[in-house]
């Protein structure tokens, strides 16, 4: 799939970007462009990647002209750039809108005008029935990328979305935070009932690679992944620490969701993933031949059929 292709990753210096780029270099890609706004992270990443096929491009998804320059000759775009921290988005709402919504629109327009073949945007479980601004901006972004398939005109660009849960050990996530503070003897938890979806970085990267092949344009792909209790995670990482209940933060949910009842009506199920299909008039000809979901189905972290044990969480945390 990548032979002779040029791939660009927005937000390419992040945890996902680094892992994804390592993978596509192994797959025989012609060139990989790291598009991000932080020159220090790019400098540090250059020390890790000596491959001449990796190029670094300073830019911000808010800057449409810069995206037009960067997308010239690009075949595949992975849109991973985002403001993703719930607290930061709540406190800086306009900045979140500029990056997560306006930035998405800029990526779409640049991809269409430069005739990029395929675009996959990374989403989050917080985009399903959102209660915080981060989730709301990512829901808007998802809608933009799905609808973009109706705007391509004579061009050939296809847009799809991948939505998954918390990534084990990604920058700013709870695992490195718990590991950092366990020496204090206390681990803060907002609510003992809290549950979350859990996916490894390798699994997230592979899911994107798989869906680059599956995508027809307009789908939201959702993996089947396990849930975990945040209290179990605390026991796994800091078994000798006391748990301190500090109360739910602004914009935080008790449980996360990836598919709600209204989306389930046009979602199909496969062995390891779901596909939320678009409601385009022409979609009948290309739709995925999966199993329809039961009426009233929803996929939430507290009603999951697969759960990680304390022992499994301990193993995951120890490999980071």
Q: Please state, in angstroms and rounded to a whole number, the distance separating the CA atoms of residues 24 and 32.
A: 8
- In the chain, count H helices and then E strands: 12, 17
Q: Could you tell me which residues come within 8 angstroms of residue 59 by beta carbon, excluding any fewer than 6 positions away? A: 35, 36, 37, 66, 67, 69, 70
Q: Which residues are catalytic?
A: 126
Cα–Cα distance measured from residue 178 to residue 50, given in angstroms and rounded to the nearest whole number? 33
CA-CA distance, 232 to 237, in Å (whole number)? Answer: 9
E strand or H helix that includes residue 163 = strand 158-164
Between CA 190 and CA 251 the distance in angstroms is 12
Backbone φ, ψ for residue 272 (5° rounding): -125, 5
Give bridge partners of residue 35 from the DSSP assignment.
10, 57
- Per-residue burial over 161-173, b if 16 or more Cβ lie within 10 Å, else e, is bbbbbbbbbbeee
């Amino acid at each position: 799939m990548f032979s002779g292709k040029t791939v660009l990753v927005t937000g390419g210096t992040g945890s996902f970007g680094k892992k994804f780029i390592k993978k596509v270099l192994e797959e025989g890609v012609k060139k990989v462009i790291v598009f991000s706004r932080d020159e220090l992270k790019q400098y540090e990443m250059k020390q890790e990647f000596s491959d001449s096929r990796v190029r670094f491009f300073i830019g911000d998804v808010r800057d449409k002209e810069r995206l037009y320059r960067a997308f010239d000759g690009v075949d595949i775009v992975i849109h991973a750039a985002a403001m993703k921290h719930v607290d930061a988005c709540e406190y800086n709402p306009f900045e979140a809108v500029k990056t997560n919504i306006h930035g998405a629109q800029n990526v779409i327009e640049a991809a269409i005008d430069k005739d990029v073949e395929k675009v996959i945007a990374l989403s989050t479980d917080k985009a399903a029935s959102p209660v915080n601004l981060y989730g709301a901006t990512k829901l808007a972004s998802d809608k933009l990328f799905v609808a973009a398939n109706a705007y391509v005109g004579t061009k050939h660009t296809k847009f799809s979305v991948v939505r998954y849960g918390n990534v084990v050990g990604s920058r700013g996530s709870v695992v490195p935070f718990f590991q950092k503070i366990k020496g204090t003897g206390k681990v803060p938890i907002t609510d003992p009932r809290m549950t979350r979806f859990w996916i490894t970085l390798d699994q997230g990267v592979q899911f994107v690679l798989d869906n680059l092949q599956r995508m027809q344009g307009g789908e939201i792909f959702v993996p089947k992944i396990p849930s975990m209790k945040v209290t179990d995670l605390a026991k796994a990482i800091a078994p000798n620490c006391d748990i301190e209940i500090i109360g739910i933060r602004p914009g935080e949910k008790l449980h996360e969701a990836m598919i709600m009842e209204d989306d389930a009506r046009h979602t199909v199920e496969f062995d390891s993933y779901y596909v939320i299909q678009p409601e385009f008039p022409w979609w009948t000809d290309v739709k995925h031949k999966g199993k329809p979901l039961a009426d009233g189905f929803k996929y939430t972290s507290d009603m999951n059929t697969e759960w990680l044990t304390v022992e499994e969480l301990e193993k995951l945390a120890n490999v980071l």
